[in-house]
Structure 1
Amino acid sequence: MLGVLLGWVARNWDVAWLGTTLTKVGEIFVQLLKLAVAPLVFFAITISITNLRNVSNAARLATRTLLWFMATSLIAVALGLVIGLLTSPGSGTGLSAKDAAKPETSGSWLDFLTGIIPTDIITPFTELQVLQIVFMAVVVGIAALKLGAKAEPILKLGESVLALLQKALWWIIRLAPIGTIGLIGTAIKDYGWNLIGSYATFTADIYIGCAIVLFGVYPLLLGTVAKVNPLQFFKGAWPAIQLAFVSRSSVGTMPLTQKVTERLGVPKEYASFAVPFGSTTKMDGCASIYPAIAAIFVGEFFHVDMGIKEYLLIVFVSVIGSAATAGLTGATVMLTLTLSTLGLPLEGVGLLLAIDPILDMMRTATNVAGQVVIPVLVSAKEKILDREAFANARSFSLDGWNSEDAEDAAPAQAPAGEPAAARTPATVG
């Protein structure tokens, strides 16, 4: 609310210094989050793969996780298509062709497939090519598993570096209230309410679609598949969802996402695999709902008719190409990948960039919620979910919490792969 108020003052009273301050505060907060992204992704995924050696039925856990990633993406993109077709978001916007412009960067299937493999080991870290970093981390993790004891010194070093990165990132996360003021204030200052009016249907579609997945699909899966109380899930997962909404970065939220996942009773060894992979590939908001509705918006705006073939292509791109979003703010690469696959004008991206930061908040919150839901579902199906810990999970305030507190207060976990049969099961809905 303070961010909204200050942004409104800066915009309507033309207070230049206040607008500049809000912008810089928001930019610094996001830059601090991004500072740790490259090494965090590399070490988190490398260590997560090696941790699977401590998990019973690791291959089955990994397979089920990826299948659930794809299944929920399929549900999300289907909802996006239905909402877009029912509401026609590209009609009557009041926008003109001069508002359209090609983006500076775009994605294609050739770029996506060939861009996974880096040309050297330095560039991905300096240019923040997250997909290439993920590729290298997977290769190193698998190689370490094959080496066995010989790789232990490197793994110990990696675990120490990862702990240092997470500790530093927790300090940044505790700045979230200040960052929120800057980011929300900047959004109001730059865009006001008039711009939202031009994109009213499109904005409502994205928020409604994400809300249906976040508060409808996920609770339904939790209640029917995992047989746990959805309200208790949101109570435990809310700090991560909240930070994701503000920061607009799944990767930046990763340490907090993993912490709340563990506190919800998911074994640490499995959570340390599922969450890092989810933070870079599990994007129901950015890679499923958004490109589906955006493609319909661009098609309607440029009067391009689409049929069943095009809608099936949208589904295919969303389910298979979600890794292109790479867990960073914005979904431009995924959108251009979708538009180029459908043969729609890439200039349509320029229409949507103006409103993107406001949309990205809800998209990223949905992404992160899904990154917690899937480990809970898989753990429940594999009977390794600590239901007592789930029932006792509670929310917490970011400004009064740090990684050491989380370790001390985290409930005892059952060994990975071993059901918590000895405990008294909690009553769940």
Structure 2
Amino acid sequence: MASHGPAQKMTARAGGPLVGNANVPGDKSISHRSLILGAMAVGETRISGLLEGQDVLDTAKAMAAFGAEVTQLGDGEWSVHGVGVGGFAEPEDVIDCGNSGTGVRLIMGAMATSPITATFTGDASLRSRPMGRVTDPLALFGARAVGRDGGRLPMTIVGAKAPVPVDYRTPMASAQVKSAVLLAGLNAPGQTIVTEAAATRDHTERMLRGFGAEVTSERCDDGFRITLTGQPELRPQTIAVPRDPSSAAFPVCAALIVPGSDVLVPNIGLNPTRAGLFTTLREMGADLVYENEREEGGEPVADLRARFSPDMKGIEVPPERAPSMIDEYPVLSVVAAFAEGETVMTDVHELRVKESDRIDAMAVGLRACGVRVDETEDSFTVHGLGAGGVPGGAMAAARLDHRIAMSFLVCGLAAKRPVSVDDAGPIATSFPIFEPLMRGLGATFDRDND
């Protein structure tokens, strides 16, 4: 079973400014998809800049278990010799996806239309998360799923022997669900259609086109319609993974709230379905500038400069922006605590079913730091205390959630008193170099593993 071992307490405290270049890891979403589509192509896909966090490494192991030849060539350099669409072999053992909801849901979709059976599990956090949102549409292709009560892992997927294409409307804004359906549609005849009310991150569609699949996206009366023509022969690719905007969020947000800071994050992916946090921060008055804007590998990228911003104001975040920044609300709520006035975040129920209940985790931790937070089932409001106004002095529960842990460590870098997290171990799942990177910028962290 995936585990990071004993709890690793960490404390962040205010010090000098954060200054320098923050070379964050490769984009996690693109890293997962590079491995999966590389495994479904015919021939060798070469990947550079792959995020080598535990989540992505678990996906690499899974692709090898399904028959692809997956080799690490160097730091961030990987080779995947794929088996073709419909070519997955039946794995000999349970597929352990660790902490990764993206990994397990996309892999389920990729194998669901092949006549094989696979059993999936993960760590305690992943085993608590709902899988019915993916297994329900996969059943329409002809796949069967048997899992624990409530549609939770461990779960066995019996792939469809004679898959049929589907026309599916997602009941929630979820790139994972959309992507699982599209990946399943690769081995189904005819056209598979996914309709979503609000556009979610579109890395899967972009990458499918790059591998040679026929995919169209268009606005329609009830949202956005993506149409995939099934049973293509995917062509291997050479992929340079841009740096992850979700990882960049932490040094960027820290720079905005730590006095005197000036941090440059090079080569950040600015896909419009992922950049909602940066748009929101600028609307709050953040000194956040895009430099050297360009396009690489079909994805918009830029160098992102963040400077201390003592005059930020709370805003109402447009609810339609939620899909483009759903993973960034925890750290946004920290920035909101250092802004003046209320920051209102609505239509974010999805945060309740992430690695933890992120609304509750942030609300409880911020209150312990002296910040007023109001919450409903699908919203929360942070009452900001202005630059330097957060008392801090609390121990926050990470709840096996990497983003909760990193968010409270960012808070501690600007609060009046240090802020601790009970377990920083989960950070390795997505951002294994978080601690040395932040220390290199000037952050003050203390470890206590007793």
Q: Taking structure 1 as the reference length, what is the TM-score of the superposition?
A: 0.25
Whose strand proportion is higher, 1 or 2? 2
Q: Which has the higher contact order (CA 8 A, sep 6+)?
A: 1
Whose helix proportion is higher, 1 or 2? 1
